[in-house]
């Protein structure tokens, strides 16, 4: 059998590899504390699950959705107006996605032709690069370096690359580096995009998981943003709806129209009961958002403080549900460290190299366990001796 050459870009996904490593250890009867995948363990609030269950019990809701329900798009427009101060036209500036990852994976198919240049952050969430690769794009990596607060420096993008670039993906609060971007960054981003006629795709999935009384805006809050791009947002982390797959593409109506057209040829829309749950989430009692944020902040403090205490220094993240940590000095690469960490301590984390070349030398830890488990993870790392040079 012969397969598409584009598949040569892809090996087995890192999370599949990590799952296999976990399975092998558990088959030996050895428990694993899994901090690798960002799968939230905080369930949706009751008013959200009630809406889902009620709609799922209605036999009329098992037809093809085809299009977003008016109730959903109007609810999303209201949500963006209240939360971010952004006015959106429900009919032309909003498109639902089967999770923001689905949209980020497919949108390049509506924008680029074979060989077009796309700018992606480095390190980055894997689908940021995988989506354009599926569409046949040529990638240019924009480094996010610690010494520059993990912010993209647009002056480092060669002018010949900027002229060729079709679109760029940007995401703050950032996964995996966990930093936020100041207003000045977005002003420079919009100016750069206009100068070189580059479309901007901004992923804002973690705007509610920000800590220490920080506030997070939308890319669409900034003047000129709709002229150059769109934002992706998700209900997965904020409302505990990860498995329900609820995301949105919002902003520039030309971009939204193209992804709507693309999706009309690929799927039949979001399951109607899930649409009802999404409406309940963003229009209902928002107490759950603060409760979720507080839970992640406490987990962050527990993990970072206990790991630092045992000799693995971890800076507290500004935002997201992750910690981005440098590997101990005695290790040369992040994947080797992750394998040895799992073998000796039973703690599973994600190697930074999975997020791009600039991720080497780091690991990402997901705050997806309760505080007591995270403290236990630190204790197991300490007892394993992996941090000591004489072991």
What is the tens place of the pLDDT at every residue in 3-59? 888 888 877 677 778 888 899 999 999 999 999 988 889 999 999 999 999 999 999
Name the nearest CA neighbour of 337 among 317, 353, 315, 314: 353
Neighbour tally for 267: CB within 10 Å: 15
The answer to whether residue 391 scores a pLDDT higher than 60 is no
Alpha-carbon distance 361 to 275, whole Å? 41
Residue 175 DSSP one-character state: T
Give the integer Cα–Cα distance in Å for 156 and 154: 5
Give per-residue pLDDT as tens, 162-178.
999 999 999 999 999 99
CATH number of 46-285: 3.40.640.10
Q: What is the DSSP letter of 117?
A: E
Give the mean pLDDT of 186-199. 98
Answer for the pair 176, 359: CB distance below 8 angstroms, yes or no: yes
d(CA 270, CA 244): 9
Confidence of residue 81 (pLDDT cuts 50, 70, 90): very high
Task: Please give the Cα distance from 136 to 132 (Å, whole number).
Answer: 6
The arithmetic mean of pLDDT across residues 50-73, rounded, is: 96
User: In this structure, what are the phi and psi dihedrals at residue 322, rounded to the nearest 5 degrees?
Assistant: -130, 165
- Sketch the domain layout of the chain as residue ranges: 5-43+287-384, 46-285
CA-CA distance, 282 to 362, in Å (whole number)? Answer: 35
Is a pLDDT exceeding 90 seen at residue 380? yes
The CA–CA distances, whole Å, from 75 to 48, 81, 244, 294 equal: 14, 10, 18, 25
pLDDT digits (tens, 9 = 90+) for 208-255: 999 999 999 999 999 999 999 999 999 999 999 999 999 999 999 999
Contact (CB, 8 A) for 287 and 46: no
Q: What is the mean pLDDT of the chain?
A: 95
Domain 5-43+287-384: state its class: alpha beta
Global model pTM greater than 0.85: yes
Q: What is the pLDDT of residue 389?
A: 62
């Amino acid at each position: 059998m012969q397969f598409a050459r584009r598949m040569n870009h892809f090996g087995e996904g890192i999370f599949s590899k990590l799952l296999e490593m976990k399975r092998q250890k558990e088959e030996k009867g050895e428990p694993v504390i899994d901090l690798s995948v960002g799968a939230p363990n905080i369930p949706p609030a009751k008013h959200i699950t009630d809406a889902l269950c009620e709609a799922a019990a209605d036999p009329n809701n098992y037809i093809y959705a085809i299009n977003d329900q008016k109730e959903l798009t109007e609810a999303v427009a209201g949500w963006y107006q209240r939360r971010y101060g952004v006015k959106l036209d429900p009919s032309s500036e909003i498109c639902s996605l089967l999770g923001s990852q689905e949209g980020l994976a497919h949108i390049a198919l509506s924008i680029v032709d074979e060989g077009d240049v796309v700018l992606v952050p480095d390190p980055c969430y894997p689908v940021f690069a995988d989506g354009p690769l599926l569409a046949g794009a040529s990638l240019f990596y924009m480094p996010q370096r610690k010494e520059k607060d993990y912010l993209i420096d647009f002056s480092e993008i060669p002018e010949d690359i900027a002229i060729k670039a079709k679109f760029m993906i940007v995401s703050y609060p950032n996964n995996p580096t966990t930093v936020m971007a100041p207003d000045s960054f977005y002003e420079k981003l919009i100016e750069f995009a206009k100068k070189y006629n580059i479309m901007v795709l901004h992923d804002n999935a973690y705007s509610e998981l920000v800590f220490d009384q920080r506030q997070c805006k939308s890319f669409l809050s900034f003047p000129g943003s709709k002229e150059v791009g769109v934002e992706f947002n998700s209900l997965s982390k904020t409302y505990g709806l990860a498995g329900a797959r609820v995301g949105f593409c919002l902003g520039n109506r030309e971009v939204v129209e193209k992804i709507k057209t693309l999706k009309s040829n690929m799927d039949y829309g979001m399951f109607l009961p899930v649409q009802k749950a999404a409406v309940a989430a963003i229009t209902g009692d928002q107490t759950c958002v603060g409760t979720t944020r507080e839970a992640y902040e406490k987990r962050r403090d527990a993990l970072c403080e206990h790991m630092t205490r045992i000799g693995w220094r971890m800076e507290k993240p500004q935002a997201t549900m992750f910690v981005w940590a440098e590997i101990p000095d005695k290790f040369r690469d992040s994947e080797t460290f992750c394998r040895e960490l799992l073998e000796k301590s039973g703690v599973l984390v994600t190697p930074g190299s999975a997020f791009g070349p600039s991720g080497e030398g780091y690991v990402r830890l997901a705050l997806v366990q309760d505080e007591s488990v995270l403290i236990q993870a630190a204790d197991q790392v300490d007892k394993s001796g992996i941090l000591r040079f004489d072991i």
